[in-house]
Amino acid sequence: MNITGNTILITGGGSGIGRGLAEAFHKAGNQVIIAGRRAKALEETAASYAGMAFQTLNVEDPAAIQAFAAEITRKFPTLNVLINNAGIMQVENLTAEPVDLTTAEATIATNLLGPIRLTAALLPHLTKQKSATVINVTSGLAFVPLTATPTYSATKAAMHSYSQSLGFQLKDTSVQVIELAPPAVATDLMPGHAENPRSMPLAAYIEESMALLTANPDAKEILVENVKPLRNAESSGQYQAIFGMLNGAH
């Protein structure tokens, strides 16, 4: 992926990693469109950068995704990069009685079905571009789960697998697939993340990720140093130790 000269759609672009990526890609010389549920957050972000556009989107709604894809490609015919970043992360008690699947179902709809549906809706357009990219934002928790957020971790593992399959199926097209797997980053994705001293500062995460994208335009994965212990936990033989450290297991 060339780091400049693109028309980029970023879901969840009004806050956190999505906003950080939107700002960085805008500064790098790209047309950026941010999407998300909260119009006010989108508007505030876009207002800070001349030319940045925004449009509301509920990625849980299949019909809304289809209508959004049709409108966004009409408004921005040069769209050639999709960044699937929107996500939710919530604590779940799997042993609660009675079982309440509300959080699990919402997490799957947002974190897994949302990007799959949006990618499917935009692929016919992207494959017609001379050069296009789909970036799926997953997580280090795709490789070692945080047991307090089981469905979040599971959806990120699923998106890791989906990204690999998508990339293989698109290997003879103009569309590149990149997985961006962050470590814990200081955002408001979940209460306490922003204040946790173990969370990587957002600005540092964005800076390192953009540097890696610039240096490795053909990369399939973008992994900052902080996430590598999670990404490589199994191959390094450290899975149980890292699982225990992450989850307080004894």
Bridge partners of 3?
Answer: none
Which two tokens mark 64?
Answer: 């809304």
Out of 49, 152, 205, 239, the active site residue is 152
Half-sphere exposure of 68 (CA within 13 A, CB side): 28
Q: What angle do CA 101, 61, 173 make, to 5 degrees?
A: 110
DSSP string, 121-164: HHHHHHTTSSSEEEEEE--GGGTS--TTSHHHHHHHHHHHHHHH
Q: Tell me, yes or no, if 49 is annotated catalytic.
A: no
Question: Which distant-in-sequence residues (6+ apart) come within 8 Å of 105 by Cβ?
Answer: none
Phi, psi of 179 (to 5 degrees): -100, 125
- Distances 206 to 12, 22, 181 between C-alpha atoms, Å: 15, 10, 12
Catalytic residue IDs = 152
